[in-house]
Chains A and B, each alone.
Chain A
């Protein structure tokens, strides 16, 4: 019983509900309150790590909390093993950086924005920490609805269209997930993950297949793997930059975590292997990665392009995890971390670079690099990391992914990794070249500039915004040189991931 894991969810939730009351007192106080909330969250995480450092080193780290004192399998349990700790830490770090960025970036409707943002924070923490199927469904729905509202935050026509499309897709996915939870409950009479995991093998194979298929469809929709990638680029494009950074940096990683949790801990990878679904999923994820990179080639919109490249990277991560080898998990988890920082950093930098341009289109990207030289250089460093240049973090993670594919003799996977890097060179170099092009303004351009649309976002606090961009770049460069720092946490989380029996024993017996 450790109350801090409950507080990890309650602090952002409480912040979200208190923000409107703070607004009643003084709207300027809101920013400090938001900062206070996120700092408290960081403090909790750091204190959890420091207090349990010895256990972490010995590989026996496990914390749990029974809500209302009801022990499993009756009550709801929150459990934190090494895998969830790693995800919680990187999620909290990303959320922390993006909150500071939002303080500089969001200049209007701030109150609503922060309420939704902290609901996302609470829901993602909850989805990572909970050990209960129905609870995870609740948190997924919370994530869907809040992020849907944030995608439509600009209230333009495209933004609303994208938000509606996003909601249709994700509510359908939530429905499927709910159906899966219901079927599990009617067949096993329990909702605790460890309990389900213990008894799942006793089900008929037809029901096993149906449950796996439903969960698979639901989570693949959420992650944006090939047949369901359609909602992703549009919503990434129209959302404000910090929201996109959250969508790409945090939400997709949370869904990957749920994917791992359900298909390794709850359903079990042996079930997938017995149903031969692992082969299908591996190839599907690689195909999705291929499509993502190819679609990125034709994109004339920088934020959409980054969305397509996200599809490519998430497909690659899913595929390398589906190998179910130690090297695969190592590469996959490292790439999750590096992709989280790279993509969030890129969207954050985009938010700064696109502040005065008419649209996100390729032709309006002209001269961006000349106007904001230092941020553009940080942007280029992040792009190089996405491509996989050696001194940066992207290289290290791609290297491990590639080695994992080669070790498992999956040559299609190895091809996709190298293909991704090569196409990335093509589509990123194009934008870099455009960014350094001189702008020659004509009369017509000026007229169009003035009459087309008012300047929507003029940055509120420019220094904070550029500082966060540099911070992301520093993370990429620093951890690129010291990627061995992740060695211990990754090995820890792989151990806890591979050892399902221990998880079951600890949840049910502890």
Chain B
């Protein structure tokens, strides 16, 4: 035990930007813990125990360089967050557990392969196939493209503080791991392409959602794509951009999910079309929402602008990359701006704004814990926005970096013009709210497609999908094998002479191979 403890202590590494990331993780967890104080009503003690376990294990995941402790701590993160979902629905716990378990088995395989190839500590890995396996391994946990399918349903159905944890920090752990293993000089082209696909696809999905939390979940995938793209690009500034993006998105998304919990309690709904008089009802929450969305949309002087500028500047200069990144920026600005447009501008009546504000007409008595959490989030966004080198010059290389704020200002103005034109002419891209978004529905869609191929329409009881399809297929297949092997007793006994004969003739049989 003493030996393992010594190994554990000596495996910590406090170099480059990982301690900074660990600190941000602690602050974000603190925010969610504040927000949860009034949100979680039952079994509060256990919730905070789980939060503590989660916090300690994330620190280990970020700081250790030993494969075993890394995997162990990540499993603990998974377990803690899995059980946090129980405050919403046990069904989610089951789904999330199965998904994370399959993800961690791929990761385990990758870690073992890396170990077998001689990388005994977590560090830069030069072999491209090994990088590929490890990227696949974190793919399921961190929602890379095509493995992200579980993320919107689960992040949108979780309780608001848990969504904030999951979306704000847990999915980032995979990218922090990638920061350690992908070489700075070369990057990884596959990761770059995955990131591009994630930004475009999830951005498009976020643009056409009516439900606030689903929109937030999709925008998470889109912003994670930016991180993946930055790490895939390679180069010093791209990696700094990825770090800043992790921090900026962490603050913005945590604040947004906490405020989404408040909006949900205020209006009793998550559909953004129904939010009226938001500014006068909940001024501080509204300010936090506006600032965070501005950060997501990369408005100048926010955290998001700095990170996106760094990532943009790390690309090879040229007309194509300028146009592509201009369009990507426009997409994120559009989906962020659209929500603000619906909540604060479209069909709003500001004629009696000050009277309403004084009267304090609202449905939900906000608590000081919630306000404090939101203020911390806003402070984080502003600090990272104005001092990208971080307090205390932690990222010293960024002190000299010119962020071209004028260009950013120009771009923001152009985006604003385009967005205003589009929203005004297309009535804010109003779409129907999606029906119940859940993994079961995905399975149902898949099965309908599958059975549709044979032109038979079969209706399934989705509650029993696991029982009917998944299990019965396995059950019947294995039962066939069982019945084939288990003949009656005489034949079972016949195996003894057969086996003896095979053993005695084994030399001859072996020589045939």
Contact = CB atoms under 8 A, between A and B. Distances in A.
B496 A406 contact: no
B474 interface: yes
Contacts of B71: 390
Interface stretch (B122-130, B252-260, B446-454, B498-506): B498-506
B478 A275 contact: no
Contacts of A168: 493
A297 B504 contact: no
Nearest to A161: B489
Interface residues of A, number: 45
Interface in A263-297: 275-277, 279-280, 291, 294-295, 297
Nearest to B2: A484
B471 A280 contact: no
The 10 closest A-B pairs by CB, nearest first: A213-B503, A227-B495, A298-B479, A297-B478, A298-B478, A230-B492, A276-B510, A294-B478, A390-B75, A482-B1
Q: Is the interface of A mostly helix, strand, loop or mixed?
A: helix
Band of interface residues on B: 35 or more
Contacts, number: 91
11 contacts: A213-B503, A214-B500, A277-B506, A280-B503, A280-B510, A295-B485, A298-B475, A390-B72, A407-B116, A414-B112, A421-B105
B41 interface: no
B1 A485 contact: yes
B101 interface: yes
Given A217-B496, A227-B496, A227-B498, 11 more contacts: A212-B503, A217-B500, A220-B499, A228-B499, A297-B474, A298-B475, A390-B71, A390-B72, A407-B116, A484-B3, A484-B4
B481 interface: yes
B76 to A, nearest CB: 8
A463 B478 CA distance: 39
B444 to A, nearest CB: 20
Interface string B36-58: 00000000000000000000000
A29 interface: no
B482 A298 contact: yes
Contacts of A389: 75
Contacts of A407: 116
Contacts of A391: 72, 76
B473 to A, nearest CB: 10
Interface string B217-234: 000000000000000000
Contacts of B510: 276, 279-280
A402 interface: yes
Q: Chain A CB within 10 Å — which of B481, B486, B503 has the most? A: B503
Interface in A370-400: 389-391
Contact of A217 (B75, B479, B499): B499
Contacts of A227: 495-496, 498-499
Contacts of A221: 496
Interface of A: 165, 168-169, 172, 209-210, 212-214, 216-217, 220-221, 227-228, 230, 275-277, 279-280, 291, 294-295, 297-298, 389-391, 402-403, 406-407, 414, 418, 421-422, 425-426, 430, 433, 481-482, 484-485
Contacts of A481: 1
Interface string B64-88: 0000000110011000000000000
A484 B504 contact: no
A295 B484 CA distance: 11
B495 A291 contact: no
B304 to A, nearest CB: 36
Nearest to B510: A276
